[in-house]
């Protein structure tokens, strides 16, 4: 039975994450929104603390993975493990600032990929690196299976050639998990992921993008030109399995999409709390004991936004709980990502509207949150792609049958 209430054992973690967001992230949020591409040095000490939390097994707001070889099963009852803890921590941290969370050392999406599909030797070898994730290409966005970056075997190395765009933490990270194809004729099955460390000859950061939101986080364009990567850096099996070869790299999304949903929930909650404060200062009271249609129009609108927030929150909790209990959660992960991504955009924009001039100026963080929100509906699979995945799962269609 799924219990969607936060587990009691996560209480300390949630409180720690909230305190960090309130004391570390929120005070410097506007500073690094204005100082785009400047690394937030305040994060270094906090990242070390988070490393300690993760290594102790307490979880945190960082990257965790779904391990296929986990020996636990459902015999002992429901489990509330690392995925749920990470989601809860992520919500709190993004209540503080989502761009700063994305700038946290050693907590990149590439770390989640390593945690999910690396073997034991790789887990140990890459334990202390900060890894970004490089999937999107100039001619390949939502269809990850259409990537053209190639990896050719050459003795004890793979030679990578191609270009990746919109790589979060691509400039600052120590390494990048790169998706490349071993054999284009094999389609999806030929795609593998490789850990490419900074300083590898043939690996170049071409530029860093200027963005609408999450300005504290760097987003880079990467080029690989005859980049030689040790064969030991291929994550998972090097064999091409035409039946399930793509599953290894795709399972990372089942883990990271709930995290992006959690980011959206944190931003939405921040906007709702600030809007409630602005409304209260203007004399508008939200009464939960009265029907919405008998209250002030602003209060009725606020109640509607809160309901939208709650539904996204519950979907996200469900998808994380399923991951912890080793239940297939591709459908639920996509539902959570789609709902939370859409909701945070709607909620933050409506909050700007409800707050009036206050919401439109830099005197409040509401306008910043509305800018930050949009990327949460785009990366890790756009709104449209999530809806397509959900439709395929519900209708029992393959990717070839429903495009």
**Is 380 known to be catalytic?**
yes
172: Cβ contacts below 8 Å, ≥ 6 apart: 39, 103, 105, 130, 218
Cα torsion 364, 365, 370, 376 to 10°: value is: -170
Q: Where are the alpha helices (DSSP H) in 325-382?
A: 330-355, 357-360, 366-376
Catalytic residue (choose from 58, 273, 380, 401) = 380
First-residue to last-residue Cα distance in the chain: 34
Helix, coil or strand: residue 330: helix
Task: Give CA–CA dist 54/149, Å, rounded.
Answer: 33
Tell me the longest C-alpha to C-alpha distance in the chain. 74
Instruction: From residue 28, give the alpha-carbon distance in Å to each of 49, 77, 90.
Output: 18, 42, 18
Which residue from 255, 262, 240 is spatially nearest to 116, judged by alpha carbons? Answer: 255
Residue 361 · residue 354 · CB < 8 Å:
no
Residue 345 · residue 373 · CB < 8 Å:
yes
Helix, coil or strand: residue 255: helix
Catalytic residues: 380
């Amino acid at each position: 039975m799924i219990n969607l209430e936060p587990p009691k054992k996560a209480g300390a973690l949630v409180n720690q994450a909230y305190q960090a967001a309130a004391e570390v992230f929120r005070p410097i949020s506007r500073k690094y929104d204005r100082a785009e591409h400047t690394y937030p040095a305040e994060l270094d000490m906090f990242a070390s603390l988070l490393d300690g939390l993760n290594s102790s097994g307490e979880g945190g707001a960082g990257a965790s993975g779904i391990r296929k070889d986990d020996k636990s099963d459902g015999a002992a009852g429901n489990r509330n493990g690392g995925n749920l803890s990470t989601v809860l921590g992520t919500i709190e941290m993004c209540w503080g600032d989502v761009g700063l969370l994305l700038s946290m050392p050693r907590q990149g999406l590439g770390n989640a990929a390593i945690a999910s599909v690396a073997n034991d030797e790789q887990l140990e070898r890459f334990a202390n690196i900060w890894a970004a994730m490089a999937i999107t290409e100039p001619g390949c966005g939502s269809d990850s299976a259409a990537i053209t970056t190639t990896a050719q075997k050459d003795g004890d190395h793979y030679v990578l050639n191609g270009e990746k765009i919109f790589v979060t933490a691509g400039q600052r990270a120590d390494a990048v998990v790169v998706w490349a194809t071993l054999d284009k004729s094999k389609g999806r099955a030929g795609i593998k992921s490789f850990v490419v460390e900074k300083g590898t000859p043939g690996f170049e950061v071409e530029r860093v993008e200027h963005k609408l939101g999450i300005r504290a986080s760097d987003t880079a364009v990467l080029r690989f030109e005859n980049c030689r990567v040790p064969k030991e850096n291929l994550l998972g099996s090097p064999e091409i399995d035409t039946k399930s070869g793509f599953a290894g790299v795709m399972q990372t999304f089942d883990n990271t999409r709930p995290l992006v949903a959690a980011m959206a929930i944190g931003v939405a909650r921040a906007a709702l709390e600030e809007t409630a404060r602005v409304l209260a200062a203007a004399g508008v009271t939200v009464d939960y004991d009265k029907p919405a249609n008998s209250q002030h129009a602003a209060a009725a609108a606020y109640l509607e936004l809160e309901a939208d927030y709650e539904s996204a929150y519950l979907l996200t909790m469900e998808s994380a709980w399923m991951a912890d209990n080793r239940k297939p959660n591709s459908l639920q992960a996509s539902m959570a990502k789609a709902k939370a991504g859409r909701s945070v955009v709607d909620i933050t924009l409506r909050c700007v509207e409800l707050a009036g001039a206050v919401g439109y100026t830099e005197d409040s963080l509401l306008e910043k949150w509305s800018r930050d929100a949009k990327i949460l509906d785009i990366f890790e699979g756009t709104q449209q792609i999530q809806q397509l995945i959900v439709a395929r799962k519900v209708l029992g269609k393959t990717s070839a049958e429903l495009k």
